Amino acid sequence: MAAHLSYGRVNLNILREAARKELREFLDKCAGSKAIVWDEYLTGPFGLIAQYSLLKEHEVEKMFTLKAGRVPSADVKNIIFFVRPRLELMDIIAENVMSEDKLQPPREFHILFVPRRSLLCEQRLKEQGVLNSFTNIDEYILDLIPYDGDLLSMESESAFRECYLENDQTSLYHTAKGLMTLQALYGTIPQIFGKGECARHVANMMLRMKREFAGSQNQILPVFDTLLLLDRNVDLLTPLATQLTYEGLIDEIYGITNGYVKLPPEKFAQKKPGEGGKDLPTEPKKLQLNSAEELYAEIRDKNFNAVGAALSKKAKIISAAFEERHNAKTVGEIKQFVSQLPHMQAARNSLANHTSIAELIKDITTSEDFFENLTVEQEFMTGVDTDKVNTYIEDSIAQKDPLIKILRLVCMQSVCNNGLKQKVLDHYKREILQTYGYEHLLTLNNLEKVGLLKPQLTTRNNYPTIRKTLKLWMEDANEQNPNDISYVYSGYAPLSVRLTQLLARPGWRSIEEVLKMLPGPHFEERQQLPTGLHKKRQQGENRTTLVFFLGGVTYAEIAALRFLSQMEDGGTEYVIATTKLLNGTSWIKSLMDRPEAQIL
Amino acid sequence: MSRAKPEDDEYWNSSKFSAFTFDDEDDEFTKMKESKRAVNSILVDDDDDDDDVEKVSWSGEPIGTKSKPFQSFSESFTDTSTRAYAPELRKPKSECKDYMSDWSPEETVRRMRKGRAYSLERFRSLQDKLLLLDEAVSLHDGNVITAVLIYLKRSLSKEILFRELMVREVALRHYVHYLKEMGEQKLLVELMKALGRTEDMALMQYKEHLNIKDEGRRRDFLKSCLSLPFSQDDAMHVQDHYTLLERQIIIEANDKRGEAEIFRKYPRKASILNMPLITTLYYSCFYHYGEPEGTFSSPANIRKTFRISEKQYILTALGARAKLKSWFDVDSLFNTKNWLGYTKKRSPIGFHRVVDILQKNNAPAQVLQEYVNLIDDPELRLSLAQKYKCHDIVIDTYKDLKDRQQLIVYQGKVERGSHEDRKIEELINNMQIRWKN
């Protein structure tokens, strides 16, 4: 079912199995037939852990979406609410419970909080007078969800906002817990590096939790050699830039949620015999995207400009494979051919899908507006005219382009200039408020608080120094056959990944000066291993590093890390973990105080 | 990323694969969500078989027949005796045995974190309470910190709690977050005031307006915000916000009836209430153009009141007047008289953008041509002139650039024997001009 999770350097299926086991245990605790009422947000992440078949085996007979009013009738013994700990959801649950039909045989209610139960929520249920109606109130600790063979995410939408805007460190606590679970399954990670305030916190909590478990030694041979904890605010620039890898662009344009993307259906119209005159489908086409699909695994991390050639090559291979049938003469040969057919047909479908997606994306990447936007981004990243009001931004405001696009650009300019001149900042602010509404004052304040937008306090702009020292801009990035991570943004090498790369070789000591310019402390910790668990590395064996992005990571950064893993003389393979998979748009949206207002 | 590469294009254009059919594999999860399976009517007997385990509520009370040995931190949880909470899955039985003990702050928060029985009531002195809080903070578990804070909120006076939170940044943040979640706006504002975080308080207060639907009440609320201690810039924006809504209410009351001719000709699609300033200006330029500056709804008044930049004003007015095809108004937007009394066209935005906007509003050829001609940069002028087929401008520009070759090329694009064709013919045969090629 989830075989692709075990293909990687680290078998992440173990983690998934552990999560499934816990789910089964909870379901069995609510004995008898059951219906699940879902907080819709959770269905995505749960889909990565368990299919309906698992639930069915444990007597789940119906599923509903959490809605106000009455829970639809279902002749079951148990009603289980699977919800995030949110106050507004508690009010709906209370309404559900209170409007239960008294004439029907009574049903038992249960709540499963994901990922943690919350005092506030239980208090709210109490206030609503329904707390006593629940037989079980439990939590399902789904901290790190395996997304792919080398990728884990907590899918906590608000983690960045909480950590850097509201200063609520709960999600960091969950991170530390998740890392403890991971270590319980994959062994103690001997070396911990980190950069940033949140990284420091997480490391402290991990070390403390380890001390508390001092009695029970972990006897598992460590799978990971190193853990690197990185604060998102160490690198605010990268997510603002438009990702230019295939997967990154799919996410930028259509948004990938829980491994699925919804696409406009026109390009995917099915032509089945007998349905000739049928209208075009109106439902979006939903596709699953992960490394289980051979072709996708091959092209996802390529720069989009290299995708056309890759698809074209694949097309030739598949055509040739189908041509083979003419050469099959003997019964044995025909049998052989037929046995390969399902695989070939799957490959052909996959190719058709990705050709269609690539066509959709190409329509956008070749548009004037995309090009102009990208040009401005690249100017900022290379330090051109970052201290002046930018005409393209001004024009985009005048045309009422989506507010998030404007905010991404203005923030990028601010980050690349170590803050904007007061006059420039004031000008942007006024134009934005006048054009999009004064209430966005709140959002602008939020952006200032997290450091994405700020007035230049000193005249010293240290971004050029950082850019040059870390080689963040590479002229003539090779998009087709990359030799450096900068290919993922066609020239810009993501700062976060550069830090990761430099840590592996030659080590951070070589960049002390730059590290000091970036926010938060950098540190190294070691965790003692019981004797006998020290790994004896074979000659030429790669090290395995877990990179944890606190506050989110983009697909382009993941692509860059995969590129480093695959480098022949790299010496290190990376597994990536994060609080949330994000892109500039979803990131900025999480910081807005009234995101729906931007749909103008 | 550079734009399309030719070799790529070839693939895209010749791609034959898009016509493939694919089997739509319904993922199981979609099915799961909309499960409409018939329900088995088998009711299973209620046999909760883990009754050996002592049942303990999350807040610490043992549940069932046993009497309550102590009050938990939250009285709100005391009446849970009728229904049982099951203990947590991973909880070994032995863990619940010694809840009567006199736990240290460390032990207490550790138990809280693990969801085991605990009591906060024994922390009576201020010092004990603060030790407990500090211990909770050092664990970073928001749930535990909040639980302790709720106990402190109940058992300490506001002044003392605020004072102690001031030197405990992390606990303070959690407290603020808690008050926000619970909607305790008044207390929150008091806290911010006590902390001297007046700007935060002001913004927090201001944010409330988003929850007010009625425009009259919203306006009054915004007015009450004006005295809040915003930063200087924010204060100005909030003032503008208030003034704008006040204006919109007046305009809306008048325009709703839609008596004027223009409203019958172009009925309004939506009310102007709560629209951004620039949208309001556009509206005013559309429906109230030419009104004297003294009226609230006139563009001139709005422009002045809100200090709208010339650029923004011209762009907005241009958009509105072009939409109405009032080319005369468009013209006068750019007319300036010099000291000799001659009119000259001047624009704070590039004329190429003026042309764009006019073209989007289907301006007639001669209007378009006039503005294309005003574009300073010859390259830009040429490309737009070609795009919109302003032949005369193309020809004149090539003549100015002394580019005979291009002129000959362009001759191929105009109609044989037309006025343009003859004009080019004349030019290329003109020996007076010193062509560059």
Q: What are the backbone angles phi and psi of residue A526, rounded to the nearest 5°?
A: -125, 140
Spatial distance between the Cα atoms of A462 and A514, rounded to a whole number of angstroms? 9
Q: Tell me if residue A474 falls in helix, strand or coil.
A: coil
Q: Which two three-digit tokens encode residue B138?
A: 């050092």
Determine, for residues B277 and A429 on separate chains, whether the beta-carbon distance falls below 8 Å.
no
Which residues 239-258 of B have a C-beta within 8 angstroms of A? 240-241, 244
Closest chain B residue by Cα to residue A202: B140
Provide the shortest C-alpha distance from residue A535 to chain B (in Å). 31
Provide the shortest C-alpha distance from residue B410 to chain A (in Å). 25
Buried-state track B198-223, b at ≥16 Cβ within 10 A, e below 16 = ebbbbbbbbbebeeeeebeebbebbe
| Contact yes or no for A220/A529 (Cβ under 8 A) | no
pLDDT by residue for chain B (437 residues), tens digit each? 555 455 555 555 544 443 333 333 444 433 333 333 322 222 223 333 333 333 333 333 333 333 333 333 333 333 333 333 333 333 344 444 444 457 889 889 888 877 777 888 889 999 999 999 999 988 778 888 989 999 999 999 999 999 999 999 889 988 988 898 888 888 988 898 888 888 988 998 999 899 899 999 999 999 999 999 999 999 999 999 999 999 999 999 999 987 888 999 999 989 999 999 999 999 999 999 999 999 999 999 999 999 999 999 999 999 999 999 999 999 999 988 777 778 888 888 889 999 999 999 999 988 999 999 999 998 999 999 988 888 889 999 998 888 888 888 988 888 888 888 998 988 888 888 888 88
Helix H or strand E encompassing A152: strand A151-153
Q: Which two three-digit tokens encode residue A299?
A: 């092209």
Which residues 333-352 of B have a C-beta within 8 angstroms of A? none
Determine, for residues A169 and B39 on separate chains, whether the beta-carbon distance falls below 8 Å.
no
HEC assignment per residue over A490-553: CCECCHHHHHHHHHHCCCHHHHHHHHHHCCCCEEEEECCCCCCCCCCCCCCCCEEEEEEEECCE
Which residues 414-443 of A have a C-beta within 8 angstroms of B? 426, 429, 431, 433-439, 441-442
Provide the shortest C-alpha distance from residue B28 to chain A (in Å). 6
| Contact yes or no for B188/B208 (Cβ under 8 A) | no
Classify residue B39 by its DSSP letter. Answer: P
Helix H or strand E encompassing B142: helix B142-155
Q: Tell me if residue A176 falls in helix, strand or coil.
A: helix
Buried-state track B41-68, b at ≥16 Cβ within 10 A, e below 16 = eeeeeeeeeeeeebbbbbbbbbbeeeee
| Contact yes or no for A418/A460 (Cβ under 8 A) | yes
B97 touches chain A (CB under 8 A): no
B26 touches chain A (CB under 8 A): no
* The amino acid at A512: E
Spatial distance between the Cα atoms of B198 and B230, rounded to a whole number of angstroms? 7
B174 touches chain A (CB under 8 A): yes
Spatial distance between the Cα atoms of A33 and A135, rounded to a whole number of angstroms? 15
DSSP string, A29-95: HS-S-EEEEE-HHHHHHHHTT--HHHHHHTTEEEEEE--SSPPPP---SEEEEEE-S-HHHHHHHHH
Q: For residue A550, how far is the Cα from the chain centroid?
A: 11
B82 contacts: CB under 8 Å, gap ≥ 6: A132
By Cβ distance, the residue of B5, B11, B41 closest to A75 is B41
Spatial distance between the Cα atoms of A383 and B63, rounded to a whole number of angstroms? 65
By Cβ distance, the residue of B19, B77, B178 closest to A271 is B19
A362 touches chain B (CB under 8 A): yes
What domains appear along chain A, each with residue ranges and CATH number? Answer: 3-142 (3.40.50.2060), 261-268+283-366 (3.90.830.10), 369-461 (1.25.40.850)
Averaged pLDDT, groups of 10, chain A, 600 residues long: 78 93 93 93 89 91 92 89 93 93 85 88 90 92 92 92 86 92 94 97 92 76 95 97 98 95 85 54 87 94 96 94 83 87 92 96 96 97 95 93 97 96 96 96 96 89 94 93 96 97 94 95 93 73 94 98 92 96 96 61
Closest chain A residue by Cα to residue B115: A117
Helix H or strand E encompassing A304: none
B142 touches chain A (CB under 8 A): yes
Closest chain A residue by Cα to residue B22: A349
φ/ψ bin of B64: left (φ > 0), alpha (ψ from -120 to 50), beta (otherwise): left
| Contact yes or no for B415/B392 (Cβ under 8 A) | no
Q: Which two three-digit tokens encode residue A363?
A: 């329509």
**Residues of chain B positioned with their CB less than 8 A from the CB of A125:** none
Provide the shortest C-alpha distance from residue B301 to chain A (in Å). 16
Spatial distance between the Cα atoms of A57 and A24, rounded to a whole number of angstroms? 9
Chain A to chain B Cβ contacts (< 8 Å): 250
Closest chain B residue by Cα to residue A357: B18
Q: Which two three-digit tokens encode residue A96?
A: 């559900």
Place of tokens 């792919």: A148
Which stretches of A99-238 are DSSP H helices? 119-127, 159-160, 170-186, 197-212
Spatial distance between the Cα atoms of A501 and A493, rounded to a whole number of angstroms? 11
A492 touches chain B (CB under 8 A): no
Determine, for residues B11 and A312 on separate chains, whether the beta-carbon distance falls below 8 Å.
yes
Place of tokens 């100015």: B400
Determine, for residues B89 and A138 on separate chains, whether the beta-carbon distance falls below 8 Å.
yes
**Residues of chain A positioned with their CB less than 8 A from the CB of B209:** 439
Provide the shortest C-alpha distance from residue A11 to chain B (in Å). 24
Provide the shortest C-alpha distance from residue A226 to chain B (in Å). 24
| Contact yes or no for A353/B21 (Cβ under 8 A) | no
A214 touches chain B (CB under 8 A): no
Which residues 41-60 of A have a C-beta within 8 angstroms of B? 43, 47, 51-53, 55, 59
Which residues 257-296 of B have a C-beta within 8 angstroms of A? 274-278
By Cβ distance, the residue of B19, B20, B44 closest to A31 is B44
Determine, for residues A132 and B47 on separate chains, whether the beta-carbon distance falls below 8 Å.
no
Q: Which two three-digit tokens encode residue A124?
A: 């709210």
Helix H or strand E encompassing B227: none
Classify residue A335 by its DSSP letter. Answer: H
CA separation, residue A208 to residues A579, B107, B148 (Å): 21, 14, 20
A181 touches chain B (CB under 8 A): no
CA dihedral A365, A369, A374, A375 (to 10 degrees): 130
Select the residue from A278, A441, A447 to test the B interface by mutation, using most B Cβ atoms within 10 A. Answer: A441
Spatial distance between the Cα atoms of A5 and A150, rounded to a whole number of angstroms? 8
Closest chain A residue by Cα to residue B17: A352
**pLDDT (tens digit per residue) in A267-285:** 887 655 555 555 566 789 9
Provide the shortest C-alpha distance from residue B351 to chain A (in Å). 13
Spatial distance between the Cα atoms of A317 and A319, rounded to a whole number of angstroms? 6
Q: Tell me if residue A145 falls in helix, strand or coil.
A: strand
φ/ψ bin of A375: left (φ > 0), alpha (ψ from -120 to 50), beta (otherwise): alpha
A212 touches chain B (CB under 8 A): yes
pLDDT at B87: 34
A217 touches chain B (CB under 8 A): no
Spatial distance between the Cα atoms of B207 and A511, rounded to a whole number of angstroms? 43
Q: What are the backbone angles phi and psi of residue B150, rounded to the nearest 5°?
A: -65, -40
Determine, for residues A52 and B35 on separate chains, whether the beta-carbon distance falls below 8 Å.
yes
**Residues of chain A positioned with their CB less than 8 A from the CB of B35:** 52, 61-63
CA separation, residue A163 to residues A202, A393, A580, A591, B242 (Å): 12, 29, 13, 11, 33
Report which of A494, A550, A577 is spatially closest to residue A199, judged by C-alpha positions.
Answer: A550
Spatial distance between the Cα atoms of A243 and A255, rounded to a whole number of angstroms? 12
**Residues of chain A positioned with their CB less than 8 A from the CB of B23:** 349
Determine, for residues B18 and A352 on separate chains, whether the beta-carbon distance falls below 8 Å.
yes
**Residues of chain B positioned with their CB less than 8 A from the CB of A245:** none
**Tally of CB atoms within 10 A around B27:** 15
pLDDT at B9: 54
A163 contacts: CB under 8 Å, gap ≥ 6: A169, A171, A172, A198, A550, A551
Determine, for residues B140 and A169 on separate chains, whether the beta-carbon distance falls below 8 Å.
yes
Longest CA span, chain B:
115
Q: HSE, CB side, 13 Å, CA atoms: give it for residue A525.
A: 22
Spatial distance between the Cα atoms of B407 and B382, rounded to a whole number of angstroms? 12
Which residues 35-94 of B have a C-beta within 8 angstroms of A? 35, 37, 39-48, 50, 58-59, 74, 76-77, 79-80, 82-86, 88-89
Determine, for residues B20 and A55 on separate chains, whether the beta-carbon distance falls below 8 Å.
no
Q: For residue A61, how far is the Cα from the chain centroid?
A: 32
Buried-state track A389-402, b at ≥16 Cβ within 10 A, e below 16 = bbeebbbbbbeebe
| Contact yes or no for A438/B240 (Cβ under 8 A) | yes
Determine, for residues B150 and A119 on separate chains, whether the beta-carbon distance falls below 8 Å.
yes
Sheet holding A285-288, edge to edge: A256-257, A260-263, A285-288
Classify residue B17 by its DSSP letter. Answer: G
Select the residue from B26, B29, B205 to test the A interface by mutation, using most A Cβ atoms within 10 A. Answer: B29
Select the residue from A120, A211, A216 to test the B interface by mutation, using most B Cβ atoms within 10 A. Answer: A120
pLDDT at B54: 33
Provide the shortest C-alpha distance from residue A540 to chain B (in Å). 36
Buried-state track A77-86, b at ≥16 Cβ within 10 A, e below 16 = bbbbbbbbbb
Q: Which two three-digit tokens encode residue A456?
A: 């230049």
Spatial distance between the Cα atoms of A573 and A577, rounded to a whole number of angstroms? 13
